[in-house]
Each structure stands twice: as C-alpha cells, then as structure tokens.
Structure 1
Amino acid sequence: MIIAITKFQLPSPITPDEAKQIFLSTAPTYQGVQGLFRKHYVLWEDRKTVGGIYLWNSRAEAEATYTECWKAFVRDKYGSEPSVTYFDSPVLVDNIAGEIISDE
C-alpha cells in the first residue's frame, strides 16, 4: 500500500466550515477511483494550507490520478501548485473495522 499526501496553499485563510464545503464539492470525484482505499481531506492549523491524505493500493494507481490534468484542476480551483509526497505503508491498523491489513 502507498500513502500519498497532497498539499497546496489557498489565497487566504478559511474556516473549518468553509473547508468542509470546499472538500464536499470535490469528494464525489474520488468515489470509485481505481486503487483508492481512502481519502482524508486536511486543513492545516494556518487555515491556508489544505490537501489530502490518501491510502492507495499501489503507487502506479496513485500516479494515475495525480496527472497534469489533476494539477491544472488544483491550480484553477485553488490558485496554487500542488505537491504530492509518497510513502510506503506496509501495515495498516483499522480500529473501526477491527483489522490489521498488510501488503501481500
């Protein structure tokens, strides 16, 4: 499994409620994406930095999403260049499902 963290700057700070509305506007586009297990939208404490923490099946599936088209969407919607950082995640503890999942 792979974790990808995306990050970008907003032109001005927003409230958590404003962030929620923005995030809800794009959330449906991530439903059913091949290889995406979960996405967490995040708002940094500075209230100007936003992004996502994604759990992917593989890096190839993640990279298939973070294309130039995706970067252009972020630039157009939020006015800044996004960054993507990847991490290997060989073990996941899911306390909601009561499972420990590992790469096979």
Structure 2
Amino acid sequence: MIGATVTFSYPSDFDRSRIVDVAENARAMFEGMPGLRYKFFTFDEKRQQAVNFYVWESREEAERFFSEELRERVTGLYGVAPTIEFVQIAEIVDNSAS
C-alpha cells in the first residue's frame, strides 16, 4: 500500500471555511473510488495548511490519480498549489470496528 500526503501551504489568507467547503463538496467523489482505501481531509490553522492523506492499494493507482489536470484543479479549489509526497505503508491499524 502507498500513502500520499498532499499539502497546501498558505503564506497568508488561510481560510478555514474554504477548506471545509472543499472537503464537504469533494467527499462524494472519493466514496467507492477504485484503488483508494482511505482519504482524510485535514487542516492546521496554526501552520496555515490543509493536508490531505490518501491510502492507495498501489503506487500506480496513486500516481495515475495525481495527474497534472488534477493538480491544476485542486490548485484552483484551494487557492494554492499542492506539494505531493508518496510513502510506502508498512502496516495499518484500524480500530474502527471495535
């Protein structure tokens, strides 16, 4: 499995409501998406960042998703360009069923 961290850093004008609106409006797009196991929308007002974390079944699926078109689209939605980093996931602990 592959993790992808997508970070939007704001030098100023951090708008919490904009980030929450993007998450609320985009959620349905990710539900049932092939190859995507999890997606988390987060933000950190103190750091002035929105950070989204994805868990993909494979690196190929993750890289295919993060196309140049997608990068341009999310830059428009968030108002700043993202930084995208991939990591190999060694293990997941999921206590949600407990």
TM-score (norm 1): 0.80
Q: Is the partner of 1:94 in helix, strand or coil?
A: coil
User: Are 1:88 and 2:88 an aligned pair?
Assistant: yes
Report the counterpart of residue 43 of structure 2 in structure 1: 43
Q: Assess if the C-alpha contact under 8 Å between 2:14 and 2:45 holds in 1.
A: no
CA contact (8 A) 2:22 2:78 kept: no
Q: How many residues align?
A: 96
Q: Who wins on radius of gyration, i.e. which is larger? A: 1
Higher-strand-fraction structure = 1
**TM-score, normalised by the number of residues in structure 2:** 0.84
Aligned-residue CA RMSD (Å): 1.8
Cα offset, 1:30, TM superposition: 1.2
Q: Per the alignment, do residues 14 and 76 of structure 1 end up closer, same or farther by CA in structure 2, a change over 3 Å counting?
A: closer
SS in 1 for 2:15: coil
Matches of residues 1-104 of structure 1 in structure 2 within 5 Å? Answer: 1-10=1-10, 12-15=13-16, 18=17, 19-46=19-46, 48-97=48-97
Cα shift at 1:45: 3.6
Question: Percent identity over the alignment?
Answer: 27
Q: Give the whole-Å Cα distance in 1 for the aligned partners of 2:38 and 2:32.
A: 10
Which whole-Å deviations, capped at 9, do the CAs of 1:58-104 have from their partners, x for residues lacking one? 11111111100110101222221111111111211111135xxxxxx
User: What is the CA distance between 1:50 and its match in structure 2?
Assistant: 0.5
